[in-house]
Amino acid sequence: KDGAELRIHDSVDELATDLADYIAELSEVSVKERGFFAIAISGGSLISLMGKICEAPYNKTVDWAKWYIFWVDERVVAKNHADSNYKLAKDGLLSKVPVVPGHVYSINDSMSAEEAANEYEFVLRQLVKTRTVGVSESSDCPKFDLILLGMGPDGHIASLFPNHTALDEKDEWVTFITDSPKPPPERITFTLPVINSASNVAVVVTGGNKADAVHLAIDDVGPDHPLLPARMVCPTNGKLVWFLDRPAASKLEAS
Ligand code: 6PG
């Protein structure tokens, strides 16, 4: 696909090292240029795949005090619930490095999905005003330094599922759904305008069960195929990188 960079790795371990290098480098560049690193993370296997960022040498070289951490999507469950994306990231990453607790923008777990989505968008608007999170040149959208996405075998990214009306959202930055095909059903998610306004977006995918979706998301398949949410990721002014292992890339024509 035009403009996207494909990084195909022989092993998951090699992918994880490249991903940690990539995150550390973007952190350094953002801190140098803006004084902050605004990063939004997803749930799922991504969290363990990015785990090397908490190990040597990165744990000592990354400027953790400058990290502002957000969630691309969250499940509407308590923060200590096994399904919570916050809990996953806290246990797998954030508890291992000296991030500033006040810079960790988890989604409120004590209100309805709709209220929590509105509150998260409100918080984000304040941070864009102060330029802690950058702003897009072409819209008023937040311009994250990095948005990290996983992809499901159905081609969903964030909590944006195939054929769902949430994909059409043009005005809201954060929306909610109550009918997620992947449990739990209630979720809060960034919308496509926010994802596509980022400076850098990475989609991190491993495993042969996702090879069809990778093919449909990246290759020039034409209009007779379903339009996957992952295919709609195309940053307006930013860079898109796909991190794939061999099994996930096995049905690609482009590689
Ligand atoms: C979520 C995630 C979601 C995830 C994909 C891929 O909350 O479910 O944010 O978008 O990234 O479902 O998950 P896996 O990598 O575990 O397959």
Give pLDDT tens digits for 153-190: 999 999 999 999 999 999 999 999 999 999 999 999 99
**How far apart are alpha carbons 206 and 44 in whole angstroms?**
11
Q: How deeply is 151 buried, as exposed, middle or buried, from its count of CB atoms within 10 A (0-12, 13-18, 19+)?
A: buried
Please state, for a pLDDT cut of 90, what percent of the chain lies above it.
95
The set of protein residues with a Cβ atom below 6 angstroms from ligand 1 is: 42-46, 73, 75, 85, 150-152, 157-158, 182
pLDDT for the residue 255: 57
Q: Which atom of ligand 1 is nearest to the CA of 49?
A: 15
Distance 13 CA to ligand 1 centre (A): 19
Domains in the chain, start-ordered, CATH in brackets?
Answer: 6-249 (3.40.50.1360)
Distance 228 CA to ligand 1 centre (A): 15
Q: What is the ipTM of this complex?
A: 0.97
Query: Does the CA dihedral 172-27-58-105 come out positive or negative?
Result: negative
Identify the band that residue 254 occupies on the pLDDT scale cut at 50, 70 and 90.
low
Q: Does residue 2 have a pLDDT over 90?
A: no
Q: Does residue 139 have a pLDDT over 80?
A: yes
What is the pTM (predicted TM-score) of this model? Answer: 0.97
Q: Which of these ranges, 12-21, 24-33, 197-206, 221-230, has the smallest mean pLDDT?
A: 221-230
Distance 66 CA to ligand 1 centre (A): 26
pLDDT for the residue 223: 87
